[in-house]
Amino acid sequence: MTEVLAVKTIKADIVESIQRNVSRIGTRNPMVGDDGPDFEYLYPEDYFWTDSFWTGQLWLAYGLTGDESLKNSARTRNAHLETILNTPLWIDHDLGFLFSLSVVADYKLTGCEKAKSLGLRAADALRNRFNYCGNYIQAWNASSDDPEKMSMAMGKIIIDCMQNLGLMLWAYKETGIESYREVALAQAETSAQYLVREDYSTYHTFDFDPKTGKPVGGKTHQGFADESCWSRGHSWAVHGFAKLAETTGDMKYAELSAKLADYVIENITPDGVPVWDYRLPLDEVQYKDTSAGAVTAAGLFILANVLIKAGQVSRGTRYHDFALKMLKGLRDEYDLTGMSDAQGLLRGAAQFVKEGQRENKPHLIQGMLPYGDYYYFEAVLLACGHTDFFWE
Ligand code: GLY
């Protein structure tokens, strides 16, 4: 009972914080923020994959309150999203994050046909990234001045892509065109086969030979090491496979999400907030990643709902209770909603620790991240019994 009351309080605090920040953030899209004392966001000059996480929060808050200023602010981003679709070098696999939390949300909440057609264009562009020989969606792009990066990019999948599949499952639901679904499920199969290790830890990325489709090996980009387990990457998988189970009804995805969740439960620190890599050596500074905590908590709630609906009540309740423990850890030590000047909801998030250390950029090591904020809100709403989200 106390827990139910607590999550409702967090929900109210989050909505208040978002309403306070509408005019402060304006038409900008948060990218990464400092860890205090200012708690201000930095914003990209042109575009970044993070451009819709604030928009997603605006749409969630609009769905709860009906406050038109939230809807209007969210909608101002649609022109920018159209520009992304018209700029080939900006199109990568993160179209799922970008368009699910913006135009798909708009269409779901308001029925806006223009938003729907932008969402379908984005789903087409994502489906076009599929390599039929290797059975995978190419994650990143070559840059115009780096040929080495071109061949690396053409053969690389990354675990984050599990969050991008919902856009194609939504397009399948709206159009009945099978290829959206086939590509989404093929990418999920390839991820399960190559990104998940036998002990249910995960690789961040996996390389294929782009000409033959043959597997080459696992690598990290943002994790500690190739054979470590980057906690946010792992969280994308826990959440992504749980969501896939919910969308498709196929319990094999729930079983995989549960194994990945068990890895978290076995390897997380007692406060329920992940260190940025689950295999970080103890002689390294044990920085937290609250964004990984928020994504994992949301994923565990989804997994719990799927299991409980399938009649596995005690198993589902275990994941639900662990998600509540993770939320408590975030709320107790990292929640910023009580700070009226903070532009974000959570501090203590780790965007890219090694790059931050290499380039002396402290905000990449510990700070605020708009996806940490978005998934914290999603997790709190799931804890309150909310079921309407934008992922498919
Ligand atoms: N998708 C990139 C990240 O999680 O940092």
Would you say 208 and 216 are in contact if contact means Cβ atoms under 8 Å apart? Answer: yes
Q: Residue 20: inside a domain, yes or no?
A: yes
pLDDT digits (tens, 9 = 90+) for 71-98: 999 999 999 999 999 999 899 999 999 9
The structure tokens listed for 389 are 């989200």
Q: Which domain holds residue 44?
A: 2-383
Q: Residue 231: inside a domain, yes or no?
A: yes
Sign of the CA dihedral 181, 185, 318, 375?
negative
User: Annotated catalytic sites, by residue?
Assistant: 94, 160
Q: Residue 24: inside a domain, yes or no?
A: yes
Would you say 299 and 238 are in contact if contact means Cβ atoms under 8 Å apart? Answer: yes
The structure tokens listed for 325 are 């423990």
Would you say 161 and 187 are in contact if contact means Cβ atoms under 8 Å apart? Answer: yes
Would you say 392 and 173 are in contact if contact means Cβ atoms under 8 Å apart? Answer: yes
Q: What is the tally of structural domains in the chain?
A: 1
Model confidence at 211, pLDDT cuts 50, 70, 90, reads confident
Model confidence at 170, pLDDT cuts 50, 70, 90, reads very high
Lowest mean pLDDT among 144-148, 182-186, 187-191, 238-242: 144-148
Q: Residue 45: inside a domain, yes or no?
A: yes
- Residue 3 pLDDT > 60: no
Please indicate whether residue 222, judged by its CB atom, sits closer than 6 Å to ligand 1: yes
- Residue 105 pLDDT > 80: yes
Q: What confidence score (pLDDT) does residue 152 get?
A: 83
Q: Which own/partner contact pairs does 333-341 have at CB distance under 8 Å and 24+ positions apart?
A: 333/271, 333/273, 334/273, 334/288, 334/290, 335/10, 335/13, 336/17, 336/39, 336/368, 337/10, 337/13, 337/14, 337/16, 337/17, 338/13, 339/39, 340/20, 341/38, 341/39
Q: Give distance in angstroms: CA of 96 to centre of ligand 1.
A: 13
- Residue 4 pLDDT > 70: no
Cβ neighbors of 225 (< 8 A, separation 6 or more) are 279
- H or E element that contains 208: strand 205-208
Sign of the CA dihedral 291, 296, 301, 306?
positive
d(CA 37, CA 367): 11
Atom of ligand 1 nearest to the CA of 236: 4
Model confidence at 1, pLDDT cuts 50, 70, 90, reads very low
Model confidence at 146, pLDDT cuts 50, 70, 90, reads confident
Q: Residue 389: inside a domain, yes or no?
A: no
Q: Give distance in angstroms: CA of 160 to centre of ligand 1.
A: 6
Q: What confidence score (pLDDT) does residue 65 get?
A: 98
Nearest CA to ligand 1 atom 1: 160
Q: Residue 392: inside a domain, yes or no?
A: no
Distance from first CA to last CA of the chain, Å, rounded?
31
CA atoms in the 13 A half-sphere facing the CB of 88: 5
Q: Give distance in angstroms: CA of 3 to centre of ligand 1.
A: 30
Model confidence at 370, pLDDT cuts 50, 70, 90, reads very high
Tell me if the bond preceding 210 is cis, omega within 30° of 0.
Answer: no
- Please give, one letter per residue, the 3-state secondary structure of 128-184: CCEECCCCEECCCCCCCCCHHHHHHHHCEEEHHHHHHHHHHHHHHHHHCCHHHHHHH
φ, ψ for residue 109, nearest 5 deg: -90, -25
Q: Give distance in angstroms: CA of 256 to centre of ligand 1.
A: 21
Q: What confidence score (pLDDT) does residue 282 get?
A: 98
CATH number where 264 lies: 1.50.10.10
- Residue 5 pLDDT > 90: no
φ, ψ for residue 377, nearest 5 deg: -60, -45
Would you say 372 and 31 are in contact if contact means Cβ atoms under 8 Å apart? Answer: no
217 is in an annotated binding site: no
The structure tokens listed for 61 are 């808050």
Q: Residue 390: inside a domain, yes or no?
A: no
230 is in an annotated binding site: no
Q: Residue 297: inside a domain, yes or no?
A: yes
Model confidence at 178, pLDDT cuts 50, 70, 90, reads very high
pLDDT digits (tens, 9 = 90+) for 307-340: 999 999 999 999 999 999 999 999 999 999 999 9
- Residue 196 pLDDT > 80: yes
pLDDT digits (tens, 9 = 90+) for 253-293: 999 999 999 999 999 999 999 999 999 999 999 999 999 99
Would you say 221 and 233 are in contact if contact means Cβ atoms under 8 Å apart? Answer: no
356 is in an annotated binding site: no
- Residue 144 pLDDT > 70: no
Atom of ligand 1 nearest to the CA of 371: 4
Q: Is 311 left (phi over 0), alpha (psi -120 to 50) or beta?
A: left
Rounded mean pLDDT of the chain? 96
Three-state DSSP class for 327? helix
Nearest CA to ligand 1 atom 2: 160
Would you say 46 and 6 are in contact if contact means Cβ atoms under 8 Å apart? Answer: no
Please indicate whether residue 160, judged by its CB atom, sits closer than 6 Å to ligand 1: yes
